[in-house]
Amino acid sequence: MTTTTTTANADGTAERQKVRDPIHHVAYSFEQGDGHMWVHTWFEDGGHLPEHFHPSLEEYWEVVEGTARVKLDGAWRDLRSSDGPVRVAPNVRHELKNESGSPLYAKSKVIPGGRLEEFLTEASKAAEEGLFNARNMPTSWKGAMWIAKFAYRFRDETVMCSPPPAVQRVVLPLVVRLSR
């Protein structure tokens, strides 16, 4: 079962429910907006979001607390709260990681919100079950079947860059057909 936590803030109000990914060392919460969604992401030291891109989603990443290393279209840079939001256009490869030695809290406005909450929640659950490793490669036959079906189902919104997308376009439909 996916780990979710709800705690009280100092003022007694409820904090958002978090979904934790133990492989990538991040936790998420989600806030729906009008035509968009906020994804709140807490990175442990060493936590990261592997390289990926969104064919149909646009993101605006901003750091709230800490410093993130952000790779946009092949170039790494530091991102701090003073930098404000950074736009990630559709189809731009990006990756985020926390190498700061301290926790990092960042948020992303996703337009449209699409099914990203479902994607991240389901991936976190699979991470807890050990179905894949930190490079997003399956750890078993069950993991291979899950990854193929999962990646194929979300391919219009989120594409991981490992294994390479060209390989995924050939292999995923075949594996999905074989698994039926």
Instruction: Give pTM, 2 decimals.
Output: 0.88
Residue 46 tokens, joined: 């060493």
User: pLDDT tens for residues 130-173?
Assistant: 999 988 889 999 999 999 999 999 999 999 998 899 998 998 88
CA torsion sign for 74, 173, 58, 46 is negative
pLDDT the model gives residue 7: 45
Q: How far apart are CA 70 and CA 92, in angstroms?
A: 12
User: pLDDT tens for residues 51-98?
Assistant: 999 999 999 999 999 999 999 989 999 999 999 999 999 999 999 999
> Does the structure show a pLDDT above 70 at 6?
no
Q: Helices then strands (H, E): number in the chain?
A: 3, 12
Residue 86 carries which side chain, given as an amino acid letter? V
Residue 136 carries which side chain, given as an amino acid letter? N
What 3-state class would DSSP assign to 165?
A: helix
Torsion (CA) 175, 137, 62, 122 in degrees, nearest 10 = 60
Q: Give the Cβ contact number of residue 76 at 10 Å.
A: 10
Q: How far apart are CA 57 and CA 144, in angstroms?
A: 26
pLDDT the model gives residue 73: 86
DSSP assignment, residue 81?
A: G
DSSP assignment, residue 53?
A: E
